[in-house]
Amino acid sequence: MKIAILGYGVVGSGAYEVAKTADNIEVKRVLHRRAVAELGDIVTTDYDDIINDREIELVAECIGGLHPAYEYVAAAIKSGKHVVTPNKNLVAAYWNELHALADQYGVELRFTASAGGGIPWLFNLRRQSRSDEILAISGIVNGTCNYILDTMHNEPVDFTEILAKAQALGYAEKDPTADICGFDTQRKCVISANLAFGLSITEDEVPVFGIQNINAGDIKYFRQHSYTCKLLMNAGLKEYGAYAYVEPTLVGKGALEESVPANNNLISLTGNHIGTLSFYGQGAGKFPTGTSVIQDVLDIESGWGFKAADSKKINVTIDNAIESHRYYVRENGERRITEPMSVAAAHEIAAKSSDDSFFMAGIRE
């Protein structure tokens, strides 16, 4: 199968190098704003060279961001080309539009690398959905936050100090807002929940509380009480509604999440038949993400479809009043453990607090 890769940054170049080693795939074109010595004349700056090339059956969009990624992907689909993308912003923001378009033009749209990076999480979530009822999903999906939290549990450093170190190492962006405030995790939660439960929820339906206010005192308290703090996405489907939220979560000794080091990810599903299945690995990086993109390409090239899982679509809105647990809350310098309360109520308390350094974390029982 002849394909085109859009963008030659970290993920695009990783996907290109992995594709070179795969039989059955030929990268005919790479869209990039300048020449690249090792690519020779397959580079183009003109997207029409790709859209108008009927031999190119699939476009792997590795540009990132919403625009022009959306326009490029939409144009590819309308030209009858399959699309693979690791772009979580795009997939979360245009879930309905992209799926409707792909259905209309009869092409495949795959985005395994958009949540979990190198981990075949979304692929296995779809595969399991075929013969099981997915009840809940949860996981560590942001490597930057996990690196920061893991280091804070191991060394007596404060948040600003370790964030600066993470930026110096390239683990955190210059503007770290999307990671530490949980928006990256929120997008991956939207994508995972939509796929798991046949929903069409959007980012603004998933309340987020990030880790930007956590401090060394919080961590000390958690360690004293044998807890480890991780930023988790959570979503589930109950008889009377669905829940979805992102918040720091205290897990106890022996939890699998406790043992996730550095910038790794761990994501779990709970199914009616299968119980809990968890997937661990590198959630980002040139080769893990590049490989994940090419795996999707190979699936499409091999004709692997997901008919049964795709047929399930339900119309449910998020109601976080249906999910409850205890919380650790630090407000105006005072710490307390609450009685079990709904996620909706806790996130409302956080939003309304007048304390700019307010921090809370859900407690997993």
Binding positions for L-homoserine are 173
Strand 359-363 to strand 241-252: parallel, antiparallel, or no bridges (unpaired)? parallel
Q: Which residues are annotated as a binding site for NADPH?
A: 88
Burial level of 129, CB count in 10 A (0-12/13-18/19+)? Answer: buried
Torsion sign (Cα): 181, 184, 187, 189: negative
Quick one: 127 or 165, whose CB is closer to a second copy? 127
Point out which residues bind a second copy (CB under 8 A): 18-19, 21-24, 118-120, 123-124, 127-128, 130-132, 254-256, 258-261, 268, 271, 273-282, 285, 287-288, 290-292, 294-295, 298, 302-305, 307-308, 311
Torsion sign (Cα): 273, 92, 361, 231: positive
- H or E, element range at 167: helix 159-168
188, 230, 312, 352: the active-site residue = 188
Quick one: 213 or 295, whose CB is closer to a second copy? 295
CB of 325 to a second copy, least distance (A): 20
Alpha helices in 198-285 (DSSP H): 216-224
CB of 330 to a second copy, least distance (A): 26
Annotation marks residue 81 as catalytic: no
Q: Which residues pair with 328 in a beta bridge?
A: 337, 361
CB of 264 to a second copy, least distance (A): 9
CB of 124 to a second copy, least distance (A): 6
Q: Which residues are annotated as a binding site for NADP(+)?
A: 7-12
What CA–CA distance (Å, rounded) separates 191 from 189?
5
Quick one: 45 or 131, whose CB is closer to a second copy? 131
Whole-Å CA distances, 318 to 240, 241, 330 = 11, 7, 27
Instruction: Name the residues annotated as catalytic.
Output: 188
